Structure formats: structure tokens, C-alpha cells
Amino acid sequence: MKTKPFLLLATTSAVLAFFAGCATEPGPFTPQDTTKYTIENTEKFVLLDKPTQISVTCTGLKERELPDGRIEVVANVKNRENRRIQVQINCVFKDDQGFATGDETPFQTLILAENSTEAVRFTAMNSLAKKYTIRVRQAR
């Protein structure tokens, strides 16, 4: 009969300890910084879905300023698989503070042979662009 009071005491202690840890401070709270949602703002080459994360990589980026002040970007996109894949790729041009200038190329289809690398060229439409993000996604 000694086990019932001990079991009751242990259960009560566990429940009290559980609820004691649930207290929260009143708000307001500052925003949490996470790269999960800001990767397109911080990286120059972004893979938008899981299949492309497995299959595609960028082996090099080359950027240059044209005589009229626009930038031109060349990305070497590599297929990491032993099969032909089809992806879509585009470029979003941004100003020197990282905000979009409204200059975004349409997604174009890129077919990559087995273990091959293709160079893809993008040119800004105006001289406001100083930064960019190249985005790759699975072809739909």
C-alpha cells in the first residue's frame, strides 16, 4: 500500500513541474532572424525546391558592367546527376541595397545533359541593377 501515496506524489510533482515551464513573457517581441526566409535576399544563386537542390549546382558566377552601366551575369549551371534533367532559371536584378528594381527575367527552360555544365547569360535592362539573384526551379 505504500506505493499508491508515492505514485500520487510523483505524478503531482511531474504535473506541477510541467506547467511551471509553460510561463511566457508578455509581448511585443522582436522579429526572429532566420535564413530560411531570407535566402533570396542574401545569396546570388538559389535553388527553389528539393529536386533542384539534389540535382543542380552552380560552378561559377561571372558578372561584369557593360559600357552603358548595365550588368551582365553568366552562371555555370551543372547537372549533378547521371540522367538528363530539365529546369527553369531566371534572374532578379536588384539595386545596391538589395531591393528589386522591377527588372526580372522570365523563367526560361534549361535542359542539362548527364553531368554537363551550361553557361546561362542574363543582362539587366537598366543601369539601376547592382546586385542579382539567379533562381532555379524544377521544370513544370
Per-residue confidence (pLDDT) for residue 106, from 0 to 100: 93
Per-residue confidence (pLDDT) for residue 63, from 0 to 100: 93
**pLDDT-above-70 percentage for the chain:** 71
Amino acid letter, residue 47: L
Q: Residues 118, 126: contact at Cβ < 8 Å?
A: no
Of 75, 94, 90, the residue nearest 132 (C-alpha): 94
Fill in the DSSP letter of residue 9. Answer: H
Per-residue confidence (pLDDT) for residue 38, from 0 to 100: 60
Cα–Cα distance measured from residue 122 to residue 90, given in angstroms and rounded to the nearest whole number? 8
Residue ranges of the chain whose pLDDT lies below 70: 1-6, 8-9, 13-42
Cα–Cα distance measured from residue 92 to residue 90, given in angstroms and rounded to the nearest whole number? 7
Per-residue confidence (pLDDT) for residue 33, from 0 to 100: 55
Per-residue confidence (pLDDT) for residue 40, from 0 to 100: 57
Of 108, 107, 109, 105, the residue nearest 85 (C-alpha): 109
Domains delineated in the chain? 39-138 (2.60.40.3230)
Q: Which three cell numbers stand for residue 25?
A: 513573457
Per-residue confidence (pLDDT) for residue 99, from 0 to 100: 86
- Quote the pTM value: 0.71
Beta strands in the chain (DSSP E): 45-47, 56-65, 71-79, 85-94, 100-104, 108-112, 117-123, 131-138
Per-residue confidence (pLDDT) for residue 136, from 0 to 100: 92
Per-residue confidence (pLDDT) for residue 120, from 0 to 100: 95
Q: Which three cell numbers stand for residue 111?
A: 535542359
Per-residue confidence (pLDDT) for residue 49, from 0 to 100: 87
